[in-house]
Amino acid sequence: MKRLLFLLGGGVIVLCLAVGGFCYWINIPPQIKIPTPVMPEPNGYDYFVRASAAYVRDSKGVDKTTDLHFMPGKRYPIAAKETWLKQNAKALHFLRKGLRYPALHPPTQPPYDPTPSEIQFPELARTLVVESHVRAAHDDWRGAVDSTLDGLKFGYDIQRGAAFTTSNIIGNGVQEISLGVLSQLLPNLDATLSRQTAVRMERLYKGRFPYFKTMEVEKHKEQADLLVLMNKDELPQILEGVLNVLDPHISRWQKAKLFLTSKRTLLNDYTKKMDAYIAEGRLPYIKMQPVSASRNVFTRVWTSFDKNPRWNWARVQTNSSLIMTMLALRAFRLEKGHYPARLKKLMPEYLREIPIDPFDGIAPLHYQLQGNKYLLWSIGPDGVDNHGTPITNLNERGRARHLFLSPDSKGDVVAGINMP
């Protein structure tokens, strides 16, 4: 009997030690080194924040959505626009001062949503739109172009070093606002200004922050967040949140397994999944393969990226590539009296390189000379060259039939048709 009690007691002790050891093991904080970026001094981003703080919101309707279609003076008086621009002279001063310096988003601190300053960045971009309208109304086409290119550079600078939400939504949004106005200015530009604008756009475009770099920043941001949660022992609450999102889509065993997974395993699984997204982001658009879903339900929720972000990035870059090429083509025709037979004729006088189609990632934009006109297009998100047949939404009317694109759109993105 004593021997049995001794064995049972010993078994309980061994079990307690095993359970204690297991609990200790799964809670060992992971060791991971997160790179710290070297911030420029001065940092243009700091001036963008100051510009946002100085911004005076429009209260009289000088900056409605219809203004983006370049109608200076038709609906909103130029005098009202000029008055509002004077109120924002300080904001524009800080914004342009920031554009003179290298800009890098500072390391993100919790909470990770865009800051109030960043949320207001598109409003600053629209201030440049209004400025462009005013300058165009006074036939200052160079000044009007300068305003839009400042907005385009602002959009590129916002993305540099920024995590996913700020880069993909705010940065791309600011670029799109500026590109929409620039495309409307194009018919009014002479040969010299068309050529100079194409050159400036090409320089800005080459210096853009790559999509995969944004995903790298996102990975490091979330790694830092997870480390803080793990070191504060707040991970159980986070796991409960994950279960609330997934329930009732997972089994009891999966729930139990989640809480029995070590912190190191959770972080390593997250890192591997993000590395897969980064590798996908390096591939040409047409070569992308869906990243397989993680077996770890925690990682599956924490990295729920679909194809929309990469599509949105490619869509905005396609607009930029098309407009840049259209400017070079306009300069070529005004100077030589005709359009080139091939895009390569634009090199190196008008463009250093023919832009690669962002929806392809390997081949350049497509071009076809059609008498005194031309057809210029990207293969679009379906990855198929439809020989310049534009994406068409049959359930829409007017220009909307060609403007509302999606990752599943069929057809090509054609210059002058599928562009804002």
Residue 20 has pLDDT above 60, yes or no: no
Residue 66 has pLDDT above 50, yes or no: no
Structure-model confidence comparison of residues 115 and 317, the more confident one = 317
Task: Give the distance, in angstroms, between the CA of residue 66 and the centroid of all CA atoms in the same chain.
Answer: 24
Confidence category of residue 77, pLDDT binned at 50, 70, 90: confident
Which residue blocks in 337-406 are alpha helix, DSSP H?
400-403
Any idea which of 16-25, 176-185, 304-313 has the lowest mean pLDDT? 16-25
- Measure the CA–CA gap between 143 and 141, rounded to whole angstroms: 5
Any idea which of 80-94, 221-235, 311-325 has the lowest mean pLDDT? 221-235
Ordered DSSP codes for 203-256: HHHHTPPPHHHHHHHHHHHHHHHHHHHHHTT-HHHHHHHHHHHHTTSS-HHHHH
Residue 266 has pLDDT above 60, yes or no: yes
The predicted-structure confidence for 387-406, as pLDDT tens digits, reads as follows 999 999 877 777 778 877 88
CA distances from 268 to 61, 220, 226, 263 (A): 51, 12, 11, 8
Confidence category of residue 262, pLDDT binned at 50, 70, 90: confident
Any idea which of 118-127, 161-170, 296-305, 383-392 has the lowest mean pLDDT? 296-305
Name, of 7-21, 231-245, 271-285, 347-361, the range with top average pLDDT. Answer: 347-361
Q: Please report the pLDDT score of residue 158 as a whole number.
A: 95
Q: What is the mean pLDDT of residues 305-311?
A: 80
Residue 23 has pLDDT above 50, yes or no: no
The predicted-structure confidence for 187-238, as pLDDT tens digits, reads as follows 999 999 999 999 999 999 999 999 999 999 989 988 888 787 777 665 566 6
